[in-house]
Amino acid sequence: MENIALLLIDFQNDYFPSFDGAKWKLNNTEKSAENALKLLAKFREKNMNIIHVRHEFLSEDAPFFISNSNGAKIHETLLPKKGEYQVLKNTVNSFKNTDLKEHLDNLKIENLIIVGAMSHMCIDAITRAASDYGYNCFVAHDSCATLDLEFNGIIVPSQMVHASFMAALQFAYAKVESTDSLLEIL
């Protein structure tokens, strides 16, 4: 696959249950990061385009990802290396008020592999926006994490949240594959 970039979305300390002081623990973050690391290693090995996206809320009373906090830092397992592009965002959509699209266009990127968190928020938002911009999107479903949600008194387990959003993305916005399947086509 040519003209491709790996987008690592919000693999930040506040999402990792194993991080002391995590403010917004997701289910399966460590396993998702472990899978994302496989893709990251392959992209590094082949000297392909890597983009790390990190979220910081602008408000000091945000529930997590507080500006300049340890929780808002990228987790040590997926730290960017010199030369890997980094994007700081302040909203759910990684394209909004950032230079992400300009950077992808300058690189003539056509294909995106998307991994990270949360499946039902930032992964959903970037995948839909990227597809609308005309990029061919691939989501590594086992390299994404989310958490249990509650709506109108109903608890929705994270596994169901994740499956619902992956099914919706697969329907119209992306090819949703396993990490191993994507590694095979690289």
Domain architecture of the chain: domains with CATH:
4-185 (3.40.50.850)
Helix (H) or strand (E) holding 116: strand 111-117
pLDDT at 164: 98
pLDDT at 60: 86
Q: Which amino acid is at 3?
A: N
Q: What is the pLDDT of residues 131-173, one digit of tens each?
A: 999 999 999 999 999 999 999 999 999 999 999 999 999 999 9
Query: Is the pTM for the entire model greater than 0.85?
Result: yes
Inter-helix orientation angle 124-132/158-172, to 10°: 0
Intra-chain end-to-end CA distance of the chain, in Å: 6
Three-state secondary-structure class, residue 64: coil
Residues 72 and 70: their CA atoms lie apart, in Å, by 5
Q: What is the pLDDT of residues 91-132, one digit of tens each?
A: 999 999 999 999 999 999 999 999 999 999 999 999 999 999
Q: Cα–chain-centroid distance for residue 19?
A: 18
Closest CA to 182 of 104, 109, 113, 118: 113
pLDDT at 89: 98
Residues 186 and 182: their CA atoms lie apart, in Å, by 7
